[in-house]
Amino acid sequence: MSAIWGIVAAIGIATMAIKAAGPVLLGERPLPVRVKSVVALLAPALFAALVGTATLGAGQSLVVDARIVGVGAAVVALALRAPTLAVVVVAALAAALARLAGIS
């Protein structure tokens, strides 16, 4: 087994141990309210970071192009309480129109 596969196996085992630690240590006890509130905010924060880096990042530089128009259109659609599918379609159309207009 190569060194890389050994590292992959070690990371996999460590990940399983970390995931098992919560149920093992807490058992049937519910999470404290403060921990629940932090856990509830993790997914939106991670998603916002992913969208931000995917939209504006290109290696070590900041890029402003048609993707920012799509994200802006999605924000407007979300503010208007559009369904998720409509938000995705609006964002894609806005980005496509921005690219057609020459924003790249």
Summarised one tens digit per residue, pLDDT across range 11-31 is 999 999 999 888 888 788 888
Query: What does the pLDDT average to over 37-61?
Result: 88
Q: List the domain range (segments joined by +) for residue 69.
A: 64-104
Give the position of tokens 């020459």.
Answer: 102
Query: What does the pLDDT average to over 1-6?
Result: 86
In a domain, 7, yes or no: no
- Tally the domains of the chain: 1
In a domain, 76, yes or no: yes
In a domain, 21, yes or no: no
In a domain, 74, yes or no: yes
In a domain, 69, yes or no: yes
In a domain, 90, yes or no: yes
Angstrom distance (rounded) from CA 66 to CA 43: 26
55 by DSSP, 3-state: which? helix
How much is the pTM? Answer: 0.60
pLDDT tops 70 at residue 1: no
